[in-house]
């Protein structure tokens, strides 16, 4: 092997090793960040979610980024996703919300659990009430050994499935306001016309993917 080829192979190997080390360093920084938030969170649900997220971070197609943490809630953004979508972890569950100009337009989806003690375990009271009202069509809710197991299976895992399988399907976020002030939001595809473009109600449209993020103003749509 000539020296030029050997030098090229060595440089390539060093680059691979440097990239691998950089990835390890970034993961370590994220781990320390989430560990610090775990320690600082007063709510057990919040600590449970942060610990679960770190254990399952490689399963997320888009990392979560902590935007704000208080004693009552934690707000997450999705990496490489518009700032107008966020996940909010509160006292009873996770809400994915759409906002614009410091105003929440809509709750896109929520994953709520109201825990109740049942014998030696825990189950979701909302699901129990739903079963009681529809015993022939709704299955009896599962009783989990611990609150963490209830949260993991009934809240965290469904949220992960939605983030990977639903959020990634869409590339546009549309925000609406009615004449009486009611607001709502829709996740759509570029060519999706099922959500009627009522120009009197449409406020703005954003690309969900941050790169590139292109805001569509109502005047742009009416002129098309």
* Residue boundaries of the structural domains of the chain: 1-40, 43-169, 172-223
Report pLDDT digits (tens) over 33-47: 454 544 444 688 999
pLDDT digits (tens, 9 = 90+) for 59-69: 999 999 999 98
The pTM for the full model equals 0.72
Residue 183 has pLDDT above 70, yes or no: yes
* Structural contact between residues 208 and 188, judged by C-beta atoms closer than 8 angstroms: no
Q: Can you give the pLDDT at residue 220?
A: 39
Return the pLDDT at 119.
85
Name the 3-class secondary structure at 149: helix
Closest to 186 (Cα-Cα) out of 204, 209, 163, 159: 204
Higher-pLDDT residue of 6, 81 = 81
Structure tokens at 164: 């990977």
Beta bridge partners of 75: 68, 88
Q: Say yes or no to pLDDT of 145 above 50.
A: yes
pLDDT of residue 84: 95
Q: What is the mean pLDDT of residues 196-220?
A: 62
Q: What is the mean pLDDT of the chain?
A: 77
- Indicate the length of the chain as a whole number: 224
Share of residues in the chain with pLDDT > 70 (%): 67
Split at pLDDT 50, 70, 90, the class of 71 is confident
Location of structure tokens 């060093």: 14
Residue entry with tokens 């009197």: 200
Q: Of the candidates 199, 203, 201, which has an alpha carbon nearest to the alpha carbon of residue 222?
A: 199
User: Which pLDDT band, with edges at 50, 70 and 90, does 90 fall under?
Assistant: very high
What's the mean pLDDT in 87-115? 93
């Amino acid at each position: 092997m000539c020296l030029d080829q050997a030098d090229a192979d060595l440089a390539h190997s060093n680059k691979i090793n440097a990239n691998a080390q950089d990835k390890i360093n970034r993961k370590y920084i994220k781990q320390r960040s989430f560990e610090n938030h775990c320690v600082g969170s007063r709510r057990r649900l919040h600590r449970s979610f942060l610990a679960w997220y770190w254990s399952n971070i490689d399963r997320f197609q888009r990392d979560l980024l902590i935007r704000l943490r208080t004693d009552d809630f934690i707000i997450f953004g999705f990496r490489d996703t518009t700032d107008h979508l966020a996940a909010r972890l509160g006292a009873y569950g996770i809400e994915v919300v759409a906002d614009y100009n410091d105003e929440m337009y809509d709750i896109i989806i929520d994953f709520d659990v109201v825990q109740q003690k049942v014998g030696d375990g825990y189950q979701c009271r909302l699901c129990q009430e739903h079963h009681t009202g529809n015993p022939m069509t709704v299955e009896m809710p599962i009783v989990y050994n611990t609150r963490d197991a209830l949260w993991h299976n009934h809240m965290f895992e469904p949220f992960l499935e939605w983030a990977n399988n639903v959020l990634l399907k869409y590339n546009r976020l549309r925000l609406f306001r009615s004449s009486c002030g009611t607001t709502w939001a829709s996740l759509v595809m570029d060519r999706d016309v099922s959500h009627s473009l009522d120009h009197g109600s449409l406020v703005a449209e954003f690309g969900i993917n941050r790169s590139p993020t292109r805001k569509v103003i109502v005047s742009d749509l009416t002129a098309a």
